[in-house]
Amino acid sequence: DTAVSQTPKYLVTQMGNDKSIKCEQNLGHDTMYWYKQDSKKFLKIMFSYNNKELIINETVPNRFSPKSPDKAHLNLHINSLELGDSAVYFCASSRGLEWQETQYFGPGTRLLVL
């Protein structure tokens, strides 16, 4: 059973296109996250949601828009893709917001913008 799943696993697209990445967790967690990992493996949080409410919105271009239709899903829509958006995007979830909670990561979506 996959705990945190993401689709698609790979995404190759042209500059200027709009694309979405979907994330689902079946752990019954209240909190979900999006991270971006660059080519040097540096990992940075983008957004977090708790019970469908936006909690963290880091300095991310407003071309990136998260949407949480329910507690089990957190999707990421990206408008007008740019070359610099090429990265691996990870979804994660945790039981709650408390800082001692373990986060469970999905397998990642490898986005390449040409």
Partner 1 sequence: GDSVTQMEGPVTLSEEAFLTINCTYTATGYPSLFWYVQYPGEGLQLLLKATKADDKGSNKGFEATYRKETTSFHLEKGSVQVSDSAVYFCALGGSNYKLTFGKGTLLTVNP
Contacts with partner 1 by CB under 8 A lie at 4, 33, 40-45, 48, 55-56, 90, 92, 97, 99-108
β 31-37/43-50 pair status: antiparallel
State the nearest-atom distance from the C-beta of 21 to partner 1, in Å: 13
State the nearest-atom distance from the C-beta of 44 to partner 1, in Å: 8
State the nearest-atom distance from the C-beta of 69 to partner 1, in Å: 22
**SS3 state of residue 81:** coil
For partner 1, the closer CB: 8 or 15? 8
For partner 1, the closer CB: 17 or 48? 48
Q: Tokens at residue 62, please?
A: 């407003």
State the nearest-atom distance from the C-beta of 1 to partner 1, in Å: 15
- State the DSSP string of 14-74: -TT--EEEEEEE-S--SEEEEEEE-TT--EEEEEEEETTEEEEE-S--TTEEEEEEETTEE
For partner 1, the closer CB: 52 or 108? 108
